[in-house]
Amino acid sequence: MGRVSGKVALVTGAARGLGAAFARRLVEEGASVLLSDVLDEAGESLAQELGSRARFVHLDVSRADAWKSAVANAEEHFGPINVLVNNAGVGVVASIEEHTEEDFRNIIAVNQIGSFLGMQTVLPSMRRAGGGSIINVSSAAGLRGVPGTFAYTATKFAIRGMTKVAALEFAQYGIRVNSLHPGPFRTAMTAHDSDSLRQVLAVVPAGRVGEPDELSHMVLLLASDEMRFATGAEYVVDGGLTAR
């Protein structure tokens, strides 16, 4: 028996990077997983690779109607949702002076509003399931200031606060809500900004970036019943970055 056998999970931003690692780990440990992303080809390919307990849907997390469709899809094929991993996120590297309003609004729409819509939309399904676990992927940038990431950092701090309010409101339904705060991990997003990554590595005590599979162990733990008393908390996996 896997650690999440029989559970139904919805993972956003699941086509590649951290989200793909989360989806893979949950399937390996017995869950049925609805993978969602805007990267259709990569998402479909991963779902086929993972087998019958994985399914892909296109999901723009900034749209309420898209969320309703995704949750309905999960319930139709797998049943009520036990686990939501709000992982989808975007960011740009720019000073406050250089930030555009368009970029700022887009980052808020995906990172912050997307997480809000996910929690709101999945709530009735989790009630039907008799409870569950919501894992909101924030960032080490949700705990400390990072120059050049003004909008991104704003949304990651917001996710941290939203998580705590949701944990208080959802506890009555047996639903746990926690935030995950990764440091630098090897993903397609970090690969595009090698200069910033080198600057970060200079202050990471572990001396390296994390691998997506390493973070998937924490997602699995939070999704499992082993952590049934944990809610409203912040879980940091950052190679010691925020310990400085």
Alpha-carbon distance 121 to 64, whole Å? 8
Question: Does position 184 have pLDDT exceeding 80, yes or no?
Answer: yes
pLDDT tier for residue 240 given thresholds of 50, 70 and 90: very high
**Residue 178: inside a domain:** yes
Q: Distance between CA atoms of 185 and 164, rounded to whole angstroms? A: 25
Number of H helices, E strands in the chain: 9, 7
The answer to the question of residue 1 being in a domain is: no
- Assess whether pLDDT exceeds 80 at residue 50: yes
Confirm whether 204 is domain-assigned: yes
Q: What is the pLDDT of residue 191?
A: 60
Question: Taking all residues of the chain, what is their mean pLDDT, rounded to a whole number?
Answer: 95
Domain count for the chain? 1
CATH code of residue 107: 3.40.50.720
pLDDT for the residue 197 = 67
- Residue 2 domain flag: no
Which residues form the catalytic set? 152
**Structural domain contains residue 18:** yes
Flag whether 244 is in a domain: no
Residue 229 is part of which domain span? 8-239
> What is the spatial distance between Cα 213 and Cα 185, in angstroms, rounded to a whole number?
10
Q: Note the pLDDT of residue 83.
A: 98
**56 vs 152: CA distance, rounded Å:** 27
How confident is the model at residue 123, as a pLDDT? 98
Q: What is the pTM of this model?
A: 0.95
